Chain A
């Protein structure tokens, strides 16, 4: 060691020793940790007061450590938090149960008291529940809302409310609370640290509990005890301890204060009047509750039954044709109401209500009339309008009205006339109809069509119109014509009816039917028609045939009547048969004596033929040729034939029909002796004609 070192030891030896100790201390981790632990709490405190830098720096490490511990050793956290969480949960549940029990007890206590009655009226008036009114009236105080408000910015950091409390927007309320504080502070020039601590509005008051960076505003209903204040102060202190740095560096993000909710909710306290309830009163209350429950059950059963009946009633209404329900309200305490459309002929809804067991007097019906077109309603309308006679079957199918069975004629006629005009009926179908007639109606119709003379009586039996008495033919004649055309009359019986004829009218009817030639006179007496004078054969024939058919004429007397055609025919026939055409001897040449007769024959034959035709006769003309007795028989027969032929040929030449002419050779007439035969007679050499009429 040299002098310099010695000098340095003398001068700086102590410092050197200190430096060495310091170096050893810095190099020794245990000592260094011990040193830091001594100043760390103070350092942390100072850092928090300066800002959030330390918090931000530690945050990732702390969060990572916690996360790792939770993932790897969750039991550590479970054990650590269980002492806290258990009591917290228990406290929360206990608070809720206490509130519920309090509510129930208070409600029971006041259910049957005079005050309870008043509170019921209040509940009814204000629209609140009875339990709510009971709680409010028995309330000492209740903290309804807590605002945590940032002092610097006046922004709401957190807001909690009691369940029943109704709060406006917390951000704006917080602002206005701050503004009011400032307003009061500035207006009354309070000291720098002075703040508005509380104010009251009605039964509400607001307590403001300041902290360094934030303040609490508690909205309290009722009159809180001063014991509440320390609670609020503790809460704001807790807020600052837990979130002091966040409050100091608040930048508008209030979400970081959400974890403070339990601290604030702990301030939502309430206190109710504690009245000693007597045991008997409580027993009475419970008895009342039990009675009320029994009543409720009974009422429920009644309601259930009533609802069932109501449903049955609606079912009946909906099933009823002609009723369409559009609205139905089942009133429990007020009258029920049913509205809809109802066909006037549908079932009476009141009857259906009775059928369902309901009192129709408690149902208000509001029906609008309408015409239902379903088959049942249409049939009902038909029956109401026409009625349905016994035995008649009526059915409505697809708008078609079917009728079957024995149907009275009058009813059917009306249905035919009017049914198609009914709504819902498009066609009338008559199926297996048997139309029946009421004799009285039939007789009425007959008398309407044929008014009865006083002397005539009429009745209808089995479709037969039976007439009796006495009447003129003129009345019965149209009856005979038209009675059968009347419905219900199939036959006419006149056996008991005496018909009288007026001769003049009978004759007029005769003349009207046959006409009366000027040459004929006619008269009727007692049914005998007497005609005289001259008449054509045709007219007479018609009269003969039809006169007796003329009502009032029973027989014909024509003795004094001449048949003009018959007379002309007979006259012509006589002329023809008395005309002889003579011939020369032994020749078939006409003799001179025969020419006159021969020349008249053609016209006469035509007249005869015409007259015969008027009589309806188809005549033939036999031309009979003869010879005298001279000569032998054969020769005479031949000669007589030739002579007949000559006449026929002449007549044909004159235009007469050959078919009508029948030439016939008769030979010579028989003689009594030869001598007589030898004498020729002119009269035997002739041709005579005979008019032949059919048998």
Chain B
């Protein structure tokens, strides 16, 4: 069985922990996020008939990327960027974060989860911005940690990308 390390990255309040909670049954308390700055969970997913054990590192969110524990990113096979669709600024921040993460870990697969899809009428992020990012090669999935929509799909898609052979 293959294990892959996956990091959840995004500014505070975008719903990273909620997405993980929706996806897995946690063993460790959320207080690790505020103490060590990371909480680790795992989840088995099936990708193209193969089982993959995702070891998910939920990194504490901070608006300032400089405070991100970059060492936690080491060895990650992919990362899930999370932004809040109702707050434009979180998308702007996650763009910046992605650049810095790419510098730290190299060209590993990533996926942007635009969270809070259940609050669609309040969204500040528009389709043009999404299209622009897609044009840059980003994979974007709308998720709702509250309703559970898109969560499984986001993790599965990222897992699939992580399993693809490196060019």
Contact = CB atoms under 8 A, between A and B. Distances in A.
Interface residues of B, number: 25
A255 B40 contact: no
Interface string B36-78: 1110111000000000110101000000000001011011110
Nearest to A155: B3
B53 A152 contact: no
Interface stretch (A169-177, A196-204, A660-668): A169-177
Interface in A58-105: none
B32 interface: yes
A171 B57 CA distance: 11
A179 B55 contact: no
Nearest to B165: A251
A253 B40 CA distance: 19
Given A169-B42, A183-B36, A254-B1, A176 B28 contact: yes
Contact of A175 (B2, B37, B57): B57
Most buried by B among A151, A152, A179, A253: A179
Interface string A165-208: 00011011001100110110110000000000000000000000
Interface string A144-169: 00000011111110000000000011
A539 to B, nearest CB: 123
Contacts of B57: 154, 175, 179
A560 B7 CA distance: 152
Contact of A252 (B2, B32, B40, B72): B2
A254 B3 CA distance: 7
Contacts of A171: 3, 42, 53, 55
B4 interface: yes
A176 B36 contact: yes
A1 to B, nearest CB: 62
B27 A179 contact: no
Given A168-B27, A172-B42, A152 B1 contact: no
Contacts of A180: 36
Nearest to A186: B71
B5 interface: yes
Contact of A153 (B1, B5, B38, B71): B5
A154 B1 contact: no
A130 B5 CA distance: 43
B23 to A, nearest CB: 14
A2 B45 CA distance: 82
Nearest to B57: A175
A155 B37 CA distance: 18
Interface in B1-24: 1-5
Contact of B38 (A151, A152, A179): A179
Contact of B5 (A155, A169, A253): A155
A154 B74 contact: yes
Given A154-B75, A180-B36, A252 B3 contact: yes
Given A155-B55, A171-B42, A252 B36 contact: no
A253 B1 contact: yes
Contacts of B1: 253-255
A172 B27 CA distance: 8
Contacts of A168: 27
Interface in A322-352: none
A169 B42 CA distance: 9
B27 A154 contact: no
Most buried by A among B2, B38, B41, B55: B55
Nearest to A252: B2
Contacts of B41: 172
A145 to B, nearest CB: 16
B69 A186 contact: yes
A255 B41 CA distance: 20
B71 A182 contact: yes
A183 B37 contact: yes
A156 to B, nearest CB: 8
B72 A172 contact: no
Contacts of B77: 153, 252
Nearest to A175: B40
A176 B40 contact: yes
Contact of A179 (B3, B36, B52, B53): B36
Contacts of B4: 252
B80 to A, nearest CB: 16
A153 B37 CA distance: 17
A187 to B, nearest CB: 9
A150 B69 CA distance: 19
A189 to B, nearest CB: 12
Q: Top 10 nearest A-B pairs by Cβ distance?
A: A153-B75, A175-B40, A182-B71, A152-B75, A252-B2, A252-B3, A155-B3, A172-B40, A179-B38, A153-B5
10 contacts: A153-B74, A153-B75, A154-B57, A156-B3, A171-B3, A172-B27, A179-B38, A180-B36, A253-B3, A254-B1
Given A152-B74, A186-B69, 9 more contacts: A151-B75, A153-B5, A154-B5, A172-B41, A176-B36, A183-B37, A252-B3, A252-B4, A254-B3
Interface of A: 150-156, 168-169, 171-172, 175-176, 179-180, 182-183, 185-186, 251-255
